[in-house]
Structure 1
Amino acid sequence: MSRRVAWFLLAFGIWSWVIWITFVKNLWASENSWGPDGSATGFFVVHLILAIVSFALGTIIGVIGLRGLRAKQKADA
């Protein structure tokens, strides 16, 4: 993997975390997320699952990028 691709993957993983943390904060504060009795709505559950999957994928992609950078450093040394 090239250094450019590794940096892109690492940046994508970090960006994914930044975006989805903001999304979850906004989701939590949304009036659509909570029913009249204070329980989570289907809207909240579906979007929270989407966020959790995105956190996992962002982490995996970021780790691949980080490993690519480390491998490139070892190869260049």
Structure 2
Amino acid sequence: MSRRVALFLLAFGVWSWIIWITFVKNLWASDQSWTPDGSATAFFVVHLILAIVSFVLGTIIGVIGWRGLRAKQKTNA
């Protein structure tokens, strides 16, 4: 894997965490997320699952990028 690809994957993983943390904060604060009695709506559950999957994929992609960078540094040393 090239250094450029590894950096892209690492940046994508970090970006994914930044974006989805913001999304979950906004989701939690949204009036559409909760019923009047305080329970979660289907809107909340679906979007929370989407965020969790995105956290997992972003983490995996970021780890691949990090490992690619480390491997590149070891071969250059």
The two structures share one fold, judged by TM-score above 0.5: yes
Shift of 1:36: 1.1
Q: Give the Cα–Cα distance (whole angstroms) in 2 for the partners of residues 22 and 36 of structure 1.
A: 24
> TM-score if structure 2 supplies the norm length?
0.99
Structure-2 residue corresponding to 1:51: 51
Return structure 1 stretches of 4+ with deviation > 3 angstroms: none
Question: What fraction of aligned residue pairs are identical, expressed as a percent?
Answer: 86
- Alignment RMSD, CA only? 0.2
Corresponding pairs, count:
77
Counterpart-to-counterpart distance in 2, 1:36 and 1:70: 51
Counterpart amino acid of residue 54 in structure 2: S
Q: Which residue of 1 aligns with 2:34?
A: 34
Structure 1 unaligned blocks of 5 or more: none
